[in-house]
Amino acid sequence: MGIKEKLKDIPRLPGVYIMKDASGETLYIGKAKDLSKRVSGYFQGSRPKTARHIALLEKVKDLDYVITGSEEEALIYEASLIKERKPKYNVELKDDKSFPFLKLTLNEEFPRLIITRKKADDGSVYFGPYTKPRLLRNAVSILKNIFPLRTCRKIPGESCLAYHIGQCLGPCVKRIDKKLYNEIVKQLILFLEGKKTRLIRELTDKMKEAADEKNFEQAAVIRNRLSALLEVSDRKTADYSSWGNVALKLKKILKLPELPLRIEAFDVSNISGKEAAGSMVYFNNGLPDKSNYRKFRIKNVKGIDDYAMMKEIVRRRYKRLKEENKAFPDLIIIDGGKGHLGAAYEELLGLNLSHIPVIGIAKQEEKIYTLGSCEPLDINRDSEMLHFIQSIRDEAHRFALKYHHTLRRKFTL
Q: What are the pLDDT digits (tens) for 18-76? A: 999 888 899 999 999 888 889 988 887 666 667 778 888 889 898 888 888 788 888 88
pLDDT per residue as tens digits for the range 152-195: 888 877 777 777 766 787 788 777 888 888 988 998 998 888 88
Domains of the chain: residue spans and CATH: 3-90 (3.40.1440.10), 96-186 (no CATH), 195-233 (no CATH), 243-412 (3.30.420.340)
Report the alpha-carbon distance of residue 45 to residue 258 in Å, rounded. Answer: 38
- Categorize the per-residue pLDDT at 235 as very low, low, confident or very high, splitting at 50, 70 and 90: very low
Instruction: Tell me whether strands 26-32 and 62-67 are parallel, antiparallel or unpaired.
Output: unpaired
Ramachandran angles phi, psi of 120, nearest 5°: -135, 155
Closest CA to 280 of 362, 197, 396: 396
Sequence-ordered list of residues with C-beta below 8 angstroms from that of 381, at least 6 positions apart, any chain: 366
DSSP, collapsed to helix, strand or coil, labels residue 332 as strand
Ramachandran angles phi, psi of 298, nearest 5°: -65, 125
Q: Please report, for residues 26, 28, 245, 335, 347, the alpha-carbon distance to residue 6 in angstroms, rounded to integers and kept in the order given.
A: 17, 17, 11, 29, 38
> Residue 411's pLDDT is what?
58
**pTM beyond 0.95, yes or no:** no
> Residue 387's pLDDT is what?
84
Find out whether 100 and 128 touch, Cβ atoms under 8 Å: yes
Report the alpha-carbon distance of residue 144 to residue 112 in Å, rounded. Answer: 10
Q: For residue 273, is pLDDT > 80?
A: no
pLDDT per residue as tens digits for the range 137-153: 888 888 888 888 888 88
Report the alpha-carbon distance of residue 13 to residue 10 in Å, rounded. Answer: 8
pLDDT per residue as tens digits for the range 81-98: 888 888 988 865 555 557
